[in-house]
Amino acid sequence: MDIVIIGGGVIGTSLAYWLADKSKLAVTLLEANANFAQNGTASFASAGLLTPAAAIGTNPAITRLIKRGFDLYPELAARLKKDHPELAGSGYFELDQLRVATTEAEAAELSERQHWYVEAGLATDARWLSPREVAEVEPLTGPNFGAIHHKGGLLRPPWLTRTLARAAAAKGVTIKAGNPVASLITGNGKVTGIRLQDGEIIQSEKVVLAAGAWSGVWLEQQLERLNITTPGLKWSQKVKPVRGQLLAVLPPPGTPPLRHILAGAGGYGYPRADGSIAFGATEEHEAGFEVAITPDGYSKLFSLMQSLAPSLLQAPVSENWSGLRPGSRDGLPLMGELPQLPGLWLATGHFRSGIVMAPSSAELLSEALISGSEESKARLKAYNDATQV
């Protein structure tokens, strides 16, 4: 086997698909759970919002991945739909975003950010709307001080993840689910394969860890067993679970539809295919691996709804869910070959932007894995350096 990918979330399945599409390498994709996008994972719980924009001062290594990923989605979604009409597809569709200012201070910051979006080339269509204009284009918004309007998109992360897995399999990728990886196998200081929980051994000189929120703890255990040390934080701190809770409400009859993705007040709201409107997400750094709905989470989400769309506060809750994001230092993904253990590659730590970064991450990583060129590895430098702090 040429490459083994540990983790069948949106990052792992995207990488498997890209590798199969761009090369003849023998690739195996391993998913610990019986189903892809299992309940509680980020690939299940994510809202699936696509935006090319970020806050002023965001690390350029992050904004590059976001913008490139956003730009890749229309073609990727269309191709998956065309090549595999029998599958669910990605659920992708274009939907503009409003980033709403709920205070005067926010309005000043967002007005500056709108100019930066255009000048930096992240969202060249971005324009500022006055409170009156916001109310005209989006009646569900509450009192506000203006908003940035720019292009955006939505998709269904579980659909995308499962479709990518099946599309990769159709291109020759071997899929194994429901059999977790127990350990790395090494020889002469390099990775030589993996051992599954049932004892099966898969030999490979390149293993990619893309296990989402579980990556850090798993890698820490493996490195301790192999007596390998790396600089910086423990791996359980470099990549750690950050819980996000979301809820959806059913608007009463006669409520105007939500026509945009609403962002602001530390969260977002978006329309769903069943007519409900969802709001999310909390950001809980100390929840560990507990996938749960909590009273405090509910309170924060209703506070968010009050800021973005207060007319929906009396609407009945139709669904709530939560998932674990792979949190990382400053939200910078950890990608590339681990210097202390040649053959082990990382593709994790995408935090809140894993969905939009998935195709651009797969593009970068697949190029380096296929060609092995110094140029392709250099493009991963910022993300590889993040593994050492």
pLDDT in tens, 121-139: 999 999 999 999 999 999 9
Output the pTM of the full model: 0.97
Mean pLDDT of 367-389: 96
Mean pLDDT of 159-176: 98
State the pLDDT confidence band at 329, using cuts at 50, 70 and 90.
confident
| Predicted local confidence at residue 20, as pLDDT | 98
What's the angle, vertex CA 5, arms to CA 81 and CA 163, rounded to 5? 15
Is residue 25 over pLDDT 90? yes
Alpha carbon 347 to its chain centroid, in Å, reads 11
* Helices and strands of the chain, counted as H and E runs: 12, 20
Is residue 335 over pLDDT 90? yes
Q: What is the mean pLDDT of the chain?
A: 97
List, in order, residues 6 or more apart from 299 with CB less than 8 Å away.
none
Burial 264-285 (b: 16+ CB within 10 A, else e): bbebbbbbbeeebbbbbbbbbe
At 171, phi and psi to the nearest 5? -95, 5
pLDDT > 70 in the chain, percent: 100
- Going along the chain from its start, the domains and CATH numbers come out as 3-74+157-238+330-388 (3.50.50.60), 97-150 (no CATH)
Q: Residue type at 92?
A: Y
